[in-house]
C-alpha cells in the first residue's frame, strides 16, 4: 500500500521503519500518526529522508487523564473483586470488613512524566483530597506545577517510589523509560501502593511486575497498556485479583477519537502539500 504514496496516515500499531520507508519510495513527504505517542516510528529514519512526522497532541489529554483516574480508583477500591463477587454469587451479607480498599484523602501521589496528561491527572486527583504530589521527569517544570497549584515537588525516582501511595505512569516510551518499572523499582514501593500505567506497556518490565505481584509487594495495579497488545488471555497478569487490565482505551471517547482523526488528516494533507504541519512531533 505504501509504494509510491506522498503521505502515510498510520496508527500506533503500525511500525514505521526503514523497511516501510524503502517500500514507500523517495517521494514520501509525511507520516501522520493518529496518536500522541510515536514510539512505533523510527524518527531518525524519517529525519534522514526529510519526511515530516505529525502527531495528535492535546486532544486526548482529558480522556486519557480520565482513564488514569478511573483505573486508580478501580484498583484502589478493588472494583474487579467486587464485580466478580456479584457475578459469581459471592456477595454475602453486608460486612464491615469485606473488600476494603483505600482512598486518596491525605495521600501522596507520584506522577511519572509531568506533561499534559500528567498535569491533567494531578488536577483531577486534587479534588480527591490528595495531600501532595511528587513528580519525576527530565527536569523541574515550574509552569506545570503552577497549573496543579497544590503542594507539588520535583523528586528523584527513588524518593517517588518510596513515598508515593499512588503512582501514575504518564511518560512517553523511549530508550530512557523502557522497562523503567522493573522488579527492583516495584520492590521500593509501599506494599499498599496503587500503581497505574496508561502510557505504554514497554515502560513496565512485565515479568518484574508479575514477580512483584506474586510476592505481594504491590497493593493494586491498573493497566491500560501491556506488552504485547492484545494481552493473551492466558497471561499470568490476568490471574491477580488486585490487577485490573483495560484494552488500551485511554483515549477511547467518541469526542477524542474524532478530534484525533481530524488532526491526523490535517497533518497528512499539510505534509502532502509541503506546508508546515499543524502538529509536528517536535513542536
Taking CB under 6 A as the criterion, the residue among 21, 28, 36, 152 binding ligand DGY is 36
Instruction: State phi, psi for 134 to the nearest 5 degrees.
Output: -115, 145
Tell me if 37 contacts ligand DGY by CB under 6 A.
Answer: yes
How many CB atoms sit inside 10 A of residue 122's CB?
A: 25
Tell me if 115 contacts ligand DGY by CB under 6 A.
Answer: no
Tell me if 226 contacts ligand DGY by CB under 6 A.
Answer: no
Which residue is it, cell 503521505? 7
Spatial separation of the C-alpha atoms in residues 267 and 271, rounded to whole Å: 6
b (16+ CB within 10 A) / e for 137-173: beeebeebbeebeeebebbebeebbeebbbbbbbbbb
How many Cα atoms are found within 13 Å in the side-chain-facing hemisphere of 17?
6
Rank residues 57 and 219 by Cβ distance to ligand DGY and give the closer one: 57
Which residue is it, cell 467486587? 82
From residue 40 to residue 79, the character string flagging contacts with ligand DGY as x (rule: CB under 6 A) and all else as - is --------------------x-------------------
The answer, yes or no, to whether the previous bond of 230 is cis (omega within 30 of 0) is yes
| CB of 60 vs ligand DGY, minimal distance in Å | 6
Taking CB under 6 A as the criterion, the residue among 115, 219, 222, 250 binding ligand DGY is 250
Tell me if 32 contacts ligand DGY by CB under 6 A.
Answer: no
Task: Find the part of the chain contacting ligand DGY (CB under 6 A) among 35-43, 97-105, 117-125, 267-275.
Answer: 35-43
Does the annotation count 40 as an active-site position?
no
| CB of 271 vs ligand DGY, minimal distance in Å | 18
Task: Find the part of the chain contacting ligand DGY (CB under 6 A) among 32-40, 91-99, 121-129, 207-215.
Answer: 32-40
Spatial separation of the C-alpha atoms in residues 258 and 196, rounded to whole Å: 26
From residue 10 to residue 29, the character string flagging contacts with ligand DGY as x (rule: CB under 6 A) and all else as - is --x-----------------
How many CB atoms sit inside 10 A of residue 86's CB?
A: 10
Tell me if 155 contacts ligand DGY by CB under 6 A.
Answer: no
Rank residues 108 and 251 by Cβ distance to ligand DGY and give the closer one: 251
Taking CB under 6 A as the criterion, the residue among 32, 108, 226, 251 binding ligand DGY is 251
Spatial separation of the C-alpha atoms in residues 104 and 162, rounded to whole Å: 17
> Does an H or E element contain 45, and which?
helix 43-48
- Residues near ligand DGY (CB under 6 A) are 12, 35-37, 60, 250-251
Catalogue the active-site residues.
248
Amino acid at each position: 500500500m505504501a509504494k509510491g504514496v506522498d503521505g502515510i496516515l498510520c496508527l500506533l500499531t503500525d511500525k514505521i521503519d526503514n523497511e516501510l520507508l524503502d517500500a514507500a519510495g523517495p517521494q514520501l513527504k509525511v507520516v501522520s500518526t493518529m496518536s500522541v505517542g510515536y514510539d512505533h516510528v523510527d524518527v531518525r529514519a524519517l529525519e534522514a529522508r526529510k519526511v515530516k512526522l505529525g502527531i495528535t497532541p492535546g486532544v486526548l489529554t482529558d480522556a486519557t487523564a480520565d482513564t488514569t483516574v478511573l483505573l486508580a480508583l478501580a484498583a484502589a477500591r478493588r472494583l474487579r473483586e467486587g464485580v466478580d463477587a456479584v457475578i459469581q454469587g459471592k456477595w454475602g451479607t453486608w460486612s464491615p470488613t469485606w473488600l476494603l480498599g483505600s482512598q486518596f484523602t491525605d495521600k501522596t501521589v507520584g506522577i511519572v512524566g509531568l506533561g499534559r496528561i500528567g498535569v491533567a491527572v494531578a488536577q483531577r486527583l486534587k479534588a480527591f483530597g490528595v495531600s501532595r504530589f511528587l513528580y519525576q521527569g527530565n527536569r523541574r517544570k515550574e509552569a506545570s506545577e503552577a497549573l496543579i497549584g497544590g503542594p507539588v515537588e520535583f523528586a528523584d525516582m527513588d524518593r517517588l517510589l518510596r513515598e508515593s501511595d499512588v503512582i501514575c505512569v504518564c511518560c512517553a516510551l523511549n530508550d530512557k523509560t523502557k522497562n523503567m518499572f522493573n522488579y527492583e523499582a516495584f520492590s521500593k514501593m509501599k506494599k499498599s501502593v496503587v500503581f497505574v500505567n496508561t502510557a505504554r506497556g514497554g515502560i513496565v518490565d512485565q515479568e518484574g511486575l508479575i514477580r512483584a505481584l506474586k510476592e505481594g509487594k504491590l497493593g493494586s495495579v491498573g493497566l491500560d497498556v501491556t506488552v504485547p497488545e492484545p494481552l493473551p488471555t492466558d497471561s499470568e497478569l490476568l490471574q491477580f485479583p488486585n490487577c485490573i487490565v483495560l484494552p488500551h482505551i485511554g483515549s477511547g471517547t467518541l469526542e477524542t477519537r474524532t478530534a484525533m482523526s481530524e488532526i491526523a488528516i490535517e497533518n497528512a494533507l499539510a505534509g502532502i502539500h509541503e506546508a508546515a504541519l499543524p502538529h509536528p512531533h517536535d513542536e
